[in-house]
Structure 1
Amino acid sequence: MSPGLTVVGVGPGDPDLLTVAAVRSIETADVIACPVTQIGASSMAATIAHRWISSHQTVMPLLFPMVEEDAPRRQAWHAAADALAEAIASGQSVVLLCEGDASLFATSSYVLLAMQQRHPACRWRVIPGITSFSAAAAAMGWPLALQQDQLLVTPCPSKEVELDALLDRAEQDRSVLVLLKLGRRWQWVKPRLEVRGILERALFAERVGWPDQELAPAADVPAVERPYFSLLLVRQSWPSVLP
């Protein structure tokens, strides 16, 4: 690979879900950059891609703290962009690994924006990855969208009134709803779905693609706090023409 940045989506967890383009980029890069949430921590993205990372490659952990404040996050994006640009300026090809898809709710999107702003001369490209919700739907044989269905993908709201408004909108627009980052909200989301009479129309997925993944009807999952990487698929109606 020639000097430049390639942002690679490595999918939700199963290494077999990486694309051919992703594997080729990882194998031929000089530097593998990977996100970590704290110094010394392992990288989930690097764990997914580890079979294609060799000992002759330089692994560059990039720190992205899991905080809500703006300043630390912006500082981390700028620091990552500068570190990547320095490696590229030295003549190296760099891959930045990203869990899931590199353009969907991804830290790498912020890094790429910072790179474009701070180092506009750097060459870059983005390789998409399989999303957790598409992998979950495929594993359960559940169509995300059919005929005139719409698909609405969003982080789970933090308040019941916001969830109700979202469900009302999805019902009116005939949208299949994907709620990401369910986590601790599942404690009140499940009872709310039950009150609305749509709990039986939802599927729950957690840590998709990892050995301990959980895929189940939402009604079968206890209303307790769940890991950050959990999601819900909600279909309130089906098309009128079906097999």
Structure 2
Amino acid sequence: MGGPAPLQISVGAAAAGVTLVGVGPGDPELLSVAALRAIRAAAVVAYPVARTGGEGMAAAIAAPWLLPGQRRLPLLFPMVAEAAPRIAAWHAAADALAAEVAAGWPVVLLCEGDVSLFASSGYVQLALRQRHPHCPVRLVPGVPAVCAAAAMAAAAGIPWPLALQSEGLLIRPTPESASGLADLLDQAAATATTVALLKLGRRWPWVRELLERRGLLDGALLAQRVGWPDQLLAPASAVPAEVRPYFSLLLIRQGWPAVLP
């Protein structure tokens, strides 16, 4: 039996359309074969930036796989709370991508993590469907940071299966208040649900205090900048109560199934 086909794909080999490509949380080796094929076949590589002139994390992750003949298209997605600038950015991105497709180019939009999980590309997909319904769009999923964190913790000698048997798994942004997190943890404990909190960052000092009061620090895993050279994976009890980087997450387990090895 033969092996998989080699990735010898020329720039612009695909039909005109937009492909949203998940590139994982940081390690370029975590891109799927489908992601590599889509990237290599694109004539235009679009990627989000937080400010004009910025490189963009998704572009940095995919950099080893980009080809010299590909045109780069940075798309500005401002990191602001106000709705109007974000909506304008999604519309502008959709229009820019659709214009490239109308000119006959195959385009990829790189997305950190997965394209459908708390991703700007999710909004771009909706904007494309609304504003350019005839523009071909397809999605290539990527590895979410939550899954990568659990896998890399295991490699570091910290076994951390996200969910076992009939357990649930809840992935959501960190609540804005201690009372909100306390209610969430109560519900998770009552339903045997592992909790994965994203966007931990500036909330970590009060989150750590709450976990300590509840005796949950040793059963929680903190991960930041997963897949990057400066990544941190550690039991929450070992991480000081200081503000963490924006790309930090917390895995909280409050119990284990009755049947275990």
Aligned mates of 2:65, 2:100 — CA distance in 1: 20
The one-letter amino acid paired with 1:85 is A
Structure 1 segment 79-228 matched on structure 2, within 5 A: 79-141=92-154, 142-228=160-246
Aligned mates of 1:51, 1:140 — CA distance in 2: 25
Question: How many residues were matched structurally?
Answer: 243
Question: Any idea what the Cα deviations from partners look like across 1:53-102, whole Å, max 9, x if unmatched?
Answer: 11211100000000011100000000000000000000000000000000
* Paired-residue identity, %: 59
Please provide the CA RMSD for this pair.
0.5
SS at 2:104 equivalent: coil
Q: Tell me the residue number matched to 1:230.
A: 248
Unaligned regions of 5+ residues in structure 1, if any? Answer: none
Question: Any idea what the Cα deviations from partners look like across 1:141-192, whole Å, max 9, x if unmatched?
Answer: 2100000100000100010000000000100010000000000100110010
Post-superposition, which runs of at least 4 consecutive aligned residues in structure 1 deviate over 6 A?
none
Aligned mates of 1:198, 1:125 — CA distance in 2: 41
Aligned mates of 2:195, 2:58 — CA distance in 1: 26
SS at 1:8 equivalent: strand
**Offset of residue 140 of structure 1:** 1.3
Aligned mates of 1:54, 1:147 — CA distance in 2: 44
**Offset of residue 197 of structure 1:** 1.2
Which residue, out of 29, 37, 53, partners 1:40? 53
Using the size of structure 2 for normalisation, the TM-score is 0.92
Aligned mates of 2:104, 2:179 — CA distance in 1: 53
Using the size of structure 1 for normalisation, the TM-score is 0.99
Aligned mates of 1:75, 1:139 — CA distance in 2: 37
SS at 1:200 equivalent: helix
SS at 1:129 equivalent: coil
**Offset of residue 225 of structure 1:** 0.3
Does 2:254 align with 1:241? no
**Offset of residue 46 of structure 1:** 0.5
The one-letter amino acid paired with 2:231 is Q
Question: Any idea what the Cα deviations from partners look like across 1:118-155, whole Å, max 9, x if unmatched?
Answer: 00000010000001110110111210000010000010
Does 2:79 align with 1:66? yes
**Offset of residue 27 of structure 1:** 0.7
**Offset of residue 200 of structure 1:** 1.1
Aligned mates of 1:69, 1:5 — CA distance in 2: 27
**Offset of residue 51 of structure 1:** 1.2
**Offset of residue 10 of structure 1:** 0.2
**Offset of residue 42 of structure 1:** 1.0
SS at 1:101 equivalent: coil
